[in-house]
Structure 1
Amino acid sequence: MLRKKQYHNLSGCIAGIYRHSRNNINRYIKSNGIRGTQNDLIIHLYDHPGLSQRQIARDLCVDPSLLARDLKALIEQGLVSREQNPSDRRVNVITLTEKGSDIAQDRIKAINGWWAELFDENPQIDPEGLYKELRCVYNRLLTADA
């Protein structure tokens, strides 16, 4: 049983899983000059099209100035477009281009393959239970930040 004085190990495990998955997945995909956070951004936009920069920064827990830098790089590569929301000109709506969508699909396929292999090799891990618990924590954190 995990004791309160060991809770910090949760963060280490989550960070390690993330880094391990990214390192292994990067072996299967072409980088195309796309960095880690930019990959996360492309995938998030694929799953959630038409978000504002503010929503994306909140969802990905990314500093808005760093997000702006990554968006600029992705726009220059023709992977993302940024347009003013016609109903509120202060808000920029971010969407993937067709090229960005193709890359997102490749990335998602690689990520899903990595996780499928992990679960196949480790049947004692319950993918649905793991997802449910992590999703619960993530949603709680999002509502706490709102």
Structure 2
Amino acid sequence: MAAVSAPPVDLIFLLSRAAHALQTEMTAALEQINATPRAYCVLGNARKGEYTQKELADLCALDKTTMVVTMDALEKDGLAERRSSPTDRRARIIAVTPAGEEVVERGEQIVSALYADVLGSLPEDQREALVGALQTLMNGRLAEPAECSATVRRPRSS
């Protein structure tokens, strides 16, 4: 029986470490505006339309409990508020306050600069190739998680 060789690269390790490093840098960068990546994601998506708390949780890949805690903090900080839906009295629409709008605008500048810096560390011909390859994977082969019996959790974000 022939020996099975190891894969040439540990793809999950590379992607996981890269994601963790970038998430950590983003967390540190957003601290200057007293925001977290999670809060920035919720606020940024909420200002694009009238979304319920559940819809925003789905857009930001947050579970129900995490979304509730995030919204509680955003309301406490005066950055967003829950409003009754005009079409479903059981649903709450998330509205971004003017202070929340300012956080998103400043956050966009911070995140854009961070992404430009990270991608700028690659040779020019690899930048678009990396982003394009990741988008292709996420829109195709990796668009939906595989069915499996074990629960696979997303890594916690800080």
What's the TM-score once normalised by structure 1's chain length?
A: 0.75
Identity %: 17
The residue number in structure 2 matching 1:117 is 117
Number of residues of Structure 1 aligned to a counterpart in Structure 2: 139
Higher relative contact order (CA 8 A, sep 6+): 1
Q: Which moved more, 1:4-13 or 1:68-77?
A: 4-13
- Correspondence for 1:16 among 21, 24, 41: 21
CA separation of 1:118/1:62 partners in 2, compared to 1, >3 Å: closer, same or farther?
same
CA separation of 1:13/1:63 partners in 2, compared to 1, >3 Å: closer, same or farther?
same
For structure 1, which runs of at least 5 residues remain unmatched after alignment? Answer: none
More strand as a share of residues: 1
Structure having the higher Rg: 2
CA distance in 1, matches of 2:51, 2:134: 23
Indicate yes or no: 2:63 matched with 1:63. yes
Letter of the structure 2 residue corresponding to residue 30 of structure 1: I
CA RMSD of superposed structures (Å): 2.9
CA contact (8 A) 1:80 1:100 kept: yes
More helix as a share of residues: 1
Q: Give the drift of 1:139.
A: 4.8
CA separation of 1:80/1:115 partners in 2, compared to 1, >3 Å: closer, same or farther?
same
Q: Which moved more, 1:108-117 or 1:125-134?
A: 125-134
Partner-residue secondary structure (3-state), 1:89: coil
CA distance in 2, matches of 1:55, 1:142: 18
Runs of 4+ in 1 over 6 A off after TM superposition: none
CA separation of 1:118/1:144 partners in 2, compared to 1, >3 Å: closer, same or farther?
closer
Encode CA deviations 1:10-51: one digit per residue, 9 max, x unaligned. 22322222223332x236x331xx3442233223324x3321
What's the TM-score once normalised by structure 2's chain length?
A: 0.70
Alignment of 1:95-114 (within 5 A): 95-114=95-114
For structure 2, which runs of at least 5 residues remain unmatched after alignment? Answer: 1-5, 147-158
